[in-house]
Each structure stands twice: as structure tokens, then as C-alpha cells.
Amino acid sequence: MRDMGPHASPTGRRSELSRTNDMRARSLVAFTLLAQMGVGAYWTLGVLFVWSWCQAGPAVSHQLTAFGWPAIGLIMVISILASLFHLGSPTNAWRAFDNLRRSWLSREILFATLFAGGSMLLAAMQLLGFGMLAGRGILGLTIGIVGLVLIGAMGNTYRLRTVPAWNSWATLASFFATTFLLGALAVG
């Protein structure tokens, strides 16, 4: 006999509610993995930028990383758009910022927005050669730190007291490991 599951109708077809819940869950997985990839790629590209600058000079460094910076911004925009599919009413997404003092989820959304905007700003500055090099470096490091804080907020969102296996340092460690693994794979 076929297992119909909790959301199946008597005819064996999955209910509309089940399909909606699946889409909402998948959108969170997409957001999480894409944001981790974006932050990891940002740090991987940053290390590559500095290393190539020291080894071969600024021209090679800029040429080597030129297309990576805008790609990171695009990845982050896609990740944030994916997260909107989790919401019942995306027009109320701005309300996520109401609880920054107490909610890791609110902080996660704030830092994802800041990292996405900052990485796009830096990409534009790099491509256009806008601003002094030292200023772009300081901005780049600041954006990178915001990205790490984003990953910390993501990990803390999942550290639930009610789920003892998740309420440990291993949750944060796995989020950071996934971040740097996906980032290195994305940069290639």
C-alpha cells in the first residue's frame, strides 16, 4: 500500500498546502546556501585579490577578479529574492527589522541586506575605478566582516534550545565550513 503522508488527499495526490510548504522550505534552503556561497566567494576572491596583487601587481589582480565582484552581488540579490518566497505576504518583509534587539532572524535579514548592498557598491567602485584604493580596501574589509556577521546570525538563528543537537558550537562551525567550502567552489 502506498504511503500517502500527512498532506495527501484520499486519492493519493498531495495537497496544495503541502506543495506551498515545500516551496517555502526550498526557498529558505536556497537563501541559506546562496548567501553562504556569496560570503565565502567574497572572502575567497578577496584573498585571491590580495595574493595576486602581491605576486603580479595591480593590473593582474584587477583583471583576475573583475568579474567575480559583480557575480557576488548577483548571488546575494538572488538569495534575498529566494527568501521572499518563504513569506506569506512579501509586502510585509520590511517588518522583519522590527525585532533586531531580540531576534537572530531579524539580524540575519539586516546583515544579508547590508552585505548584498555593500558587495554591489564595492563591485561598482572596482569596475569604475571610483574612490581611492585605500578607501576601497577599508570598505572591502568592512563588507567582508559584515558577511561573517551574517553567517554568525544565520547559525544562531538555527541554534534552538528546544533542539539540543542544534544548540551547540557545531551548528555555527558547520555554517562557517559550508560558507568557505561553497565560496571556494564558486570562485574555482
Closest CA to 46 of 164, 176, 143, 163: 143
Q: What is the mean pLDDT of residues 59-64?
A: 89
Tell whether the model's pLDDT for residue 15 goes beyond 60: yes
Residue 16, pLDDT score: 62
pLDDT tens, 90-147?
677 677 778 888 889 889 999 999 999 999 999 999 888 888 888 888 999 999 999 9
First to last CA, the chain: 47
Residue 142, pLDDT score: 97
Q: Which three cell numbers stand for residue 146?
A: 559584515
SS3 content of the chain, % helix, strand, coil (to 5): 80, 0, 20
CA–CA gap between residue 79 and residue 59 (Å, rounded): 31
Torsion over CA: 170, 172, 178, 184 (sign): negative
Closest CA to 126 of 49, 34, 38: 49
Q: What is the pTM of this model?
A: 0.84
Residue 36 CA to its chain's centroid (Å): 4
**In the chain, % of residues over pLDDT 70:** 86
Looking at residue 157, what DSSP letter applies?
H
Given a contact cutoff of 8 angstroms between Cβ atoms, the answer to whether 157 and 104 are in contact is yes
Residue 126, pLDDT score: 86
pLDDT bracket for residue 1 (50, 70, 90)? very low
CA–CA gap between residue 166 and residue 164 (Å, rounded): 5
